[in-house]
Amino acid sequence: MGAVDVIIVGAGTAGLGALREVRKRTQRFIIINDGPWGTMCARVGCMPSKALIEAAGEFHRRLVFSELGLSGSDGLRVDLGAVLARVRKVRDAFVNETRELTDDLGERAISGRARLRGPHAVEVGGRVLEAGSIVVATGSRPAVPADWRALSDRLLTTDSLFEQTALPSRLAVVGLGPVGLEMAQALARLGVQVTGFHAGRTIAGLGDGPVNDMALETLRHELEVHLGHEARPTAEGAGLRVTAGSASAVVDRVLVAMGRTPCVEGLGLENLGVPLDEKGLPEVDRATLQVAGLPVFLAGDANAEVPLQHEAADDGHIAGINAVSASTRRFVRRTPLSIVFSDPTLARVGLRFDALDQARVVVGEARFADQGRARIMLRNAGLLRLCANREDGTLVGAELFAPEGEHLAHWLAVAIHRRSTVFDLLRVPFYHPTVEEGLRTALVEAAKQLPNGDGFPLLAMPSE
């Protein structure tokens, strides 16, 4: 086989994004994948986790049935084996759909572990393939420190969690970032006795004090949470003890959710001849995905930038476009948006509050304890905070822990993307009764702190 235009290493979300752009421009490409084909998102990430959360959320609602006038909820039971079987069924369908994207590639799709030999050469299965450029999109895997790895079959990660046919009665979740928090709450709702440990003081990547405080206060009604100390495992009978500071819990198994590590060991990045950081990664420009002047592009979780599916997809597209273009194009990235599928939902949009100069912004809040629709739904808990420039009222960021919060976050994302002011956003219709009225409450509060922000928001037309 002669040299191709592009070799894509990795067929996850980023690799498939690159493939889509490459195929539009050349048929001389190769895509190499190590391990099972199908994206991380579909196999062990977004999709199975949302399926587990769906079952947990529905079961949890039985607690309001009596108040709503529905009887018999005492007889509802979780069949954990059936829940997990349905998670796998859903997952398999999505995995098959991502696999279909490479099914027709024939010899251009290679299964095997790739190793870069230089900026134009990749070794796989004993052969060296040459290419004009290389897209590296090898993804990430759960980070598991050695003392946890030593637990062997008492250890779970998201790689193994969805393969279980049963779950123990006592589980520790170590790491309450987005993934750990989602799984801790869902498993607690499904009847597992969950103890959560988190070394930091803010959960799920939150930056803002009040939202973090409200989330912790609410979630502690459902599971035990210990913050601020690194957790350590020690053997205890057939199970293990997890200790963090003065807190400890004896559990049967532990789900380690301490973030993800780029899959770059043995990938040969050192053969590119550029400096690598302590994680073994070269410097990458997020606007191009290019590795310093080389025809090599590092996309998706492998670059350790923003480990979110929609950003990984963009990474792949940008890398794919640049890998087959004569000149490297710089792209404007999307408004930041991250969502944690807890209940209420946690989300962050736009600029981080803790990165803003507090003297130059105003903050508007809405509390969902007293919000009309949230009360009707018996989902009335949560706090939304949004932040606008004091100078001109432009909405710049928001953090929320709110019912239906994933949707409020999307509304905020389009508002911020369109560079809207709080004054103009108050001219948007808010239907009654919806949780979106909480957005209006927060906008009104922000506007009141700004000059002329206290009036009826609709614009008067110029008089004739």
> In the window 258-297, what residues touch a second copy (CB under 8 A)?
287
Q: Taking CB under 8 A as the criterion, which residues in 186-245 touch a second copy?
A: none
* b/e map 251-282, b = 16+ CB within 10 Å: bbbbbbbbbbbbbbeebbbeebeeeeeeeebb
Cβ closest to a second copy, residue 14 vs residue 174: 14
Please count the CA atoms within 13 angstroms of the CA of 399 that sit on its side-chain side. Answer: 21
> Cα separation of 203 and 177, whole Å?
6
Q: Taking CB under 8 A as the criterion, which residues in 356-385 touch a second copy?
A: 372-373, 375-378
| 85 binding a second copy? (CB under 8 A) | yes
Q: Taking CB under 8 A as the criterion, which residues in 317-336 touch a second copy?
A: 317-318, 321, 327, 329-336
Q: C-alpha 116: how far from its chain's center? A: 29
| 460 binding a second copy? (CB under 8 A) | yes
Of 363, 382, 439, nearest to 216 (Cα)? Answer: 382
Cβ closest to a second copy, residue 127 vs residue 334: 334
Q: Taking CB under 8 A as the criterion, which residues in 409-428 touch a second copy?
A: 409-411, 413-415, 417-418, 420, 424-425, 427-428
Cβ closest to a second copy, residue 256 vs residue 395: 395
Cβ closest to a second copy, residue 226 vs residue 440: 440
Cβ closest to a second copy, residue 90 vs residue 116: 90
Diameter of the chain measured on Cα atoms: 85
Q: Indicate the SS3 state at residue 197.
A: strand
Binding footprint of a second copy, residue count (CB under 8 A): 92
Provide the minimum distance between the beta carbon of 416 and a second copy in the complex, in angstroms, as a whole number.
9
> Cα separation of 87 and 151, whole Å?
25
| 31 binding a second copy? (CB under 8 A) | no
- Site pattern 440..459 for a second copy (x: CB under 8 A): ----------------x-xx
Provide the minimum distance between the beta carbon of 84 and a second copy in the complex, in angstroms, as a whole number.
7
Q: Please pick, from the candidates 5, 23, 28, 65, the single residue that binds a second copy as defined by CB under 8 A.
A: 65
> Cα separation of 124 and 218, whole Å?
51
Provide the minimum distance between the beta carbon of 55 and a second copy in the complex, in angstroms, as a whole number.
4
Of 15, 425, 386, nearest to 208 (Cα)? Answer: 386
> Cα separation of 30 and 129, whole Å?
9
Q: Please pick, from the candidates 33, 309, 371, 380, the single residue that binds a second copy as defined by CB under 8 A.
A: 309
Of 187, 142, 189, 155, nearest to 44 (Cα)? Answer: 142
Of 69, 63, 406, 338, nearest to 221 (Cα)? Answer: 63
Number of other CB atoms surrounding residue 330 within 10 Å:
12
Q: Please pick, from the candidates 14, 55, 161, 299, the single residue that binds a second copy as defined by CB under 8 A.
A: 55
Q: Please pick, from the candidates 2, 69, 106, 237, the single residue that binds a second copy as defined by CB under 8 A.
A: 69
Beta-bridge partner residues of 225: 196
Q: Taking CB under 8 A as the criterion, which residues in 381-410 touch a second copy?
A: 404, 406-410
